[in-house]
Chains A and B, each alone.
Chain A
Amino acid sequence: MSPQQDRPGLKKAPDADVHPTTPPTTSDDRSLRRLGATTGDSIGMPDKDKLVSLEVQVPKSLRRSVRNEAERRGVTVDDVVAEALRNRPIH
């Protein structure tokens, strides 16, 4: 069964390697990590990059789609957008 020519083929789901019993990552978890990142009793490893705001205008339907994906995967909208930007093709 060959993929159709005019569109990207099927890919593995992003959560294919995530065990179903793994708790979802929430924004609260990340906030907690950030708060503790500069202390000796930090809960997680400090992030490599500082988190900053990026305000963009996108179609409403796209925002809805991103929110739905975030809800389905149990992550934040920030995580979905950051992942998409990180994986963008570099020309």
Chain B
Amino acid sequence: MTVVSVLSMKGGVGKSTVALGLASAAWSRGLRTLLIDLDPQANATMAVDVGTPEFTASDVLADARPGIAQEAIVDSGWGPSMKVIGSERALEHRNVASGRNSALRLRTALATTPKGFDLVLIDCPPSLGELTRNALSASDRAIIVTEPNHFATHGAAEALEAVSVIAATTNPRLRAATVVINRLRSDDREHAFHVEQLTLQHGELVFPHAIPECAGIPLSQRAVSPLHSWHSPGSREVSEVFDDLLDSLMPAPKPGTRDSSLTLKRYL
């Protein structure tokens, strides 16, 4: 089982979109996936069609007994392979430290979760507060989402530092983060500039395939459907990027090699 946190210090860069894109890639492969929504905005919860779950991540973190998370797991509208621990507004109460080992509450709550999941995805809130600390403390991998603009790239650097701090303190098994560039416009020179800067600053930590701006993403989210079930040329292209990203997290043999048309190499 691989546990992946999707985070960014800046809001609106597409954390939930990337978490849902990865969930969609896992769904298309039939991987047994648990999506944990740690963002009080609950956008990921809405997008996987779980209605209003009785228990949420807020209740799990307030309780934090070993294994208690399994009692908050609900089915999603995406089918039997996709399970969810949903979010609610009250989750904001959990974004402050409470007592000793406060950052380990999620890890403890997940401790005895049945090993039936191949992948656990955690959608973080747009802050580096206690919810994100809990997510990183429970994770094997971290995905940092950024847009190719000035403020977002600054937020990405802050998030990378946060991952390093958690890896050096509460979670030594947390590996170096991957920076994913979202909403890239191929004809935008400002975007090209920031892609180059990100690559210069963070080198191989930057995922080599950017996620292009695509109208199909919000449409599929509004339709509470996996992106991989959304058939348009743009959606297929974005789906392939998420497939590649999932491969980088949990490599799986795939037939043939993909010809991804939008890579960072075009801008360098």
Q: Is A10 touching B92 in the complex (CB atoms < 8 A)?
A: no
Which residue of chain A has its CB nearest to the CB of B93?
A15
Smallest CB separation, B68 vs chain A (Å): 5
Smallest CB separation, A22 vs chain B (Å): 10
A1-B73, A72-B99 known; A13+B90 contact, CB < 8 A: yes
- CA A16 to CA B72, docked complex, whole Å: 14
Which residue of chain B has its CB nearest to the CB of A2?
B71
Smallest CB separation, A5 vs chain B (Å): 12
Q: Is A68 touching B90 in the complex (CB atoms < 8 A)?
A: no
Q: Is B58 touching A10 in the complex (CB atoms < 8 A)?
A: no
Q: Which residues of B contact A10 (CB under 8 A)?
A: 55, 59-60, 63, 68, 71-72
Q: Which residues of B contact A13 (CB under 8 A)?
A: 58-59, 61-63, 90, 93
Q: Is A15 touching B90 in the complex (CB atoms < 8 A)?
A: yes
Q: Which residues of B contact A91 (CB under 8 A)?
A: none
> Measuring CB to CB, which residues of chain B are less than 8 angstroms from any residue of chain A?
40, 54-55, 58-63, 65, 67-68, 70-73, 88-90, 92-93, 96, 98-99
A39 CB-CB contact with B under 8 Å: no
Q: Is A16 touching B71 in the complex (CB atoms < 8 A)?
A: no
Q: Is B71 touching A3 in the complex (CB atoms < 8 A)?
A: yes
Q: Is B68 touching A20 in the complex (CB atoms < 8 A)?
A: no
Q: Which residues of B contact A40 (CB under 8 A)?
A: none
Q: Is A68 touching B58 in the complex (CB atoms < 8 A)?
A: no
Partner of B98, one of A1, A17, A68: A68
Please classify the interface of chain B as helix (H, G, I), strand (E, B), loop, or mixed, using the class held by over half of its residues.
helix
Smallest CB separation, B94 vs chain A (Å): 8
- CA A71 to CA B93, docked complex, whole Å: 12
Q: Which residues of A contact B60 (CB under 8 A)?
A: 10
Q: Which residues of B contact A54 (CB under 8 A)?
A: none
Q: Is B71 touching A18 in the complex (CB atoms < 8 A)?
A: no
Partner of B90, one of A3, A7, A17, A72: A17
- CA A4 to CA B99, docked complex, whole Å: 26
- CA A26 to CA B72, docked complex, whole Å: 31
Smallest CB separation, B48 vs chain A (Å): 16
Q: List 25 A-B contacts (CB under 8 A).
A: A1-B71, A3-B71, A10-B63, A11-B63, A12-B54, A12-B55, A13-B58, A13-B59, A13-B62, A13-B63, A13-B90, A13-B93, A15-B93, A16-B58, A16-B88, A18-B93, A19-B89, A20-B40, A20-B89, A20-B90, A20-B93, A68-B99, A71-B98, A71-B99, A72-B96
Q: Which residues of B contact A3 (CB under 8 A)?
A: 71
A14 CB-CB contact with B under 8 Å: yes
A18-B90, A20-B40, A68-B99 known; A11+B65 contact, CB < 8 A: no
Q: Which residues of A contact B88 (CB under 8 A)?
A: 16
- CA A39 to CA B144, docked complex, whole Å: 58
Smallest CB separation, B45 vs chain A (Å): 15
